[in-house]
Chains A and B, each alone.
Chain A
């Protein structure tokens, strides 16, 4: 009889604990669900996302000329390269195998990449114009700007120098200038982002 009473009490306690567990879980679940909208509201909003890609008309850019457009709040360099600039960039290419691993790097590139891997059409070099050192905008878009020893860009903040493929050659920057996602919608229109 004592056993029966004991087990009944035990069963009652299990039921009670289950209820408390369910209630506490419901409260925790509710709290977690409520937190998400707050955090999500800090993510980019609709109007910011709408400007996450831009279409640029490049029909007016002459050979040897460069334009700068604003994309996601940052400058994007679009340079129409001369054949000499393309050749110079290719001369410094590292040797890569079929998989893309670097076999040799005669030019001593800090961030070895082939020029071909950085462009879709060799004539058009499209780069994010932000120095990979500490974020300044390198000079070299205007013909009057200094371009550094390698004919590309020169960053006035700490002296980083980029070549005609936008690769870092000299100075403190660790990486080549970034290449954004882009597609040529038409021959004269490129969509960035």
Chain B
């Protein structure tokens, strides 16, 4: 549908470089399913966060000094002396958390609604690549203030690579540029931390290109059949995205202005000291689940492999779940396992936070009596991995055990449950089309015999 622009300058440019026609097509002509829910807002929110992080990052970079003797104080100078420096810094550090919140919700949305299934497998894989790049960027960014947690987090995570046989310690030395995390490490992390967001930007463009090839998925998982199922992206989803962005920014503003360091670690306000390790080394909250998986396995190499596998398994998700039904809306068994997965990830986050060995979480199912409390107090000295004991109505479980159970479920969900569900799950009958599904009565259901046909597989 050719559009003639009124403005002659725009026409002149567009004739030579058709950006305006392209934007017009993407915004106005691009058919979007008309039933997208608010779970679909998080893609644009994540894109917005990327822009915010790059903008604040560039202006912070104007004031930051990447040298071990000067970095910490340069950050404090930003907080105290640079005009609005405190605001830029708080926006940037809380922005990382907000970015991960948006992306994690975006990912879980994709899993629930089967957005990774054909023909969107590559779109999904590109998305996982973005996640990996984000994790690398965030990890290196956290090192830059050169606080205690910056230094020791870097030390612990880079040391992981020594788990690999033969080449492990050589890799670590290469990463460090020396014999420990020191100035060379800080400098290269700074260079890469500045670079990677632009790489992410490029991959996001490819991600959107891949998306626009087949268009968005939708809550029913049923493809658009025609114009009756779609609406133009502008103004419907532009205004909905802006509204959702407003709500998200209110949430973001709460953290920035009223709890700016709550998501971080107070130990990072102590300058890095290579000779003194803090009592607990804890990564930022968005890394806690992977940290829990790492620590749940006593063997160093297997723990590292398990941690990497937890992301790698996402890459092959399109081939693990072969159910012909796309959306979780019509897959009741899948739904239960999915929500359990969400809960398990929260458990993993919890387990990643606390030291695994001497900690136990008391789960109380009965009324506490003074006697049972007394008995429970004695349990704290038990060191066995499988310390599950009854003491006057108390049921206690070691954090490390909890983490192991959660990690097992995490891998089982992808590697065992999804493939089995593909074969054995009884799905609900699918509506005929999107338009029908948004009708008040829910539309006429297709008889189950027809549902057995893989009608939604491309």
Q: Do chains A and B touch in the complex (CB under 8 A)?
A: yes
- Using CB atoms and an 8 Å cutoff, list the residues of chain A in contact with chain B: 23, 27, 37-38, 40-43, 45-48
Question: Bound complex: CA of A108 vs CA of B140, how far in Å?
Answer: 64
Cross-chain contact B82 with A37 (CB below 8 angstroms): no
Q: How far is the CA of A48 from the CA of B82 in the complex (A)?
A: 9
> Does B276 lie at the interface of the complex (its beta carbon under 8 Å from any beta carbon of A)?
no
B contact face: mostly helix, strand, loop, or mixed: helix
A37 touches B84 (CB 8 A): yes
Indicate if the CB atoms of B83 and A43 lie closer than 8 Å.
Answer: yes
State the main secondary structure of chain A at its contact with B: helix
**Is B59's CB within 8 Å of the partner chain A?**
yes
A27 to B242, CA, bound (A): 9
Whether B242 pairs with A45 at a CB distance below 8 angstroms is no
Chain B residues whose C-beta falls within 8 Å of the C-beta of A43 in the assembled complex = 83
* In the complex, B88 has a CB within 8 A of chain A: yes
Query: Is the beta-carbon distance between B62 and A40 smaller than 8 angstroms?
Result: no
Contact, CB under 8 Å: B62 / A41: yes
Q: Does B81 contact A (CB under 8 A)?
A: yes
**Cβ A41 vs Cβ B81 within 8 A:** no
Measured CB to CB, the residues of B under 8 A from A are 55-56, 59, 62-63, 77, 80-85, 87-88, 239, 242
Cβ contact within 8 Å between A41 and B55: no
Instruction: Collect the chain B residues with CB atoms within 8 Å of residue A23's CB.
Output: 239, 242
Tell me the bound Cα distance from A40 to B239 in angstroms: 31
Whether the pair A41, B82 counts as a contact (CB closer than 8 A) is yes
17 contacts between A and B (CB under 8 A): A37-B83, A37-B88, A38-B55, A38-B56, A38-B59, A40-B83, A40-B84, A41-B63, A41-B83, A41-B84, A42-B62, A45-B82, A46-B80, A46-B81, A46-B82, A46-B83, A48-B81
A45 touches B62 (CB 8 A): no
Top 6 A-B pairs ranked by shortest CB distance? A46-B81, A37-B84, A45-B81, A40-B83, A45-B82, A47-B81
A38 engages B77 (CB within 8 Å): no
Q: Give Cα A23–Cα B245 distance, bound, in whole angstroms.
A: 13
Q: Is the CB of A45 within 8 A of B77?
A: yes
Partner of B59, one of A42, A45, A46, A48: A42
* Chain A nearest Cβ from B28, distance in angstroms: 16
User: How many Å lie between the Cα of A23 and that of B88 in the bound state?
Assistant: 26
A45 touches B55 (CB 8 A): no
| Cβ–Cβ < 8 Å partners of B84 in chain A | 37-38, 40-41
Q: Report the separation of the CA atoms of residues A23 and B83 in the bound assembly, to the nearest whole angstrom.
A: 30
A46 contact set on B, CB distance < 8 A:
80-83
Q: Which residue of A lies closest to B87 (CB)?
A: A37
In the assembled complex, the CB of A85 is this many whole angstroms from the nearest CB of chain B, namely: 42
Closest A residue to B62 using CB positions: A42
Which residue of A is nearest B85, CB measured? A41
Return chain B residues, CB-CB under 8 Å to A48.
81
Contacts of A47 in B (CB 8 A): 77, 81
- Chain A neighbourhood of B87, CB < 8 A: 37
- Chain A residues, Cβ within 8 Å of B82: 41, 45-46
Task: Tell me which residues across on chain A come within 8 A of B59, comparing CB atoms.
Answer: 38, 41-42
Query: Shortest distance in angstroms between A118's beta carbon and chain B's nearest beta carbon?
Result: 35
Closest to B239 in A: A23
Q: How far is the CB of B98 from chain A (nearest CB, A)?
A: 15
Q: In the complex, how many angstroms separate the beta carbon of B428 from the nearest chain A beta carbon?
A: 39
* Smallest CB gap from A50: residue in B: B81
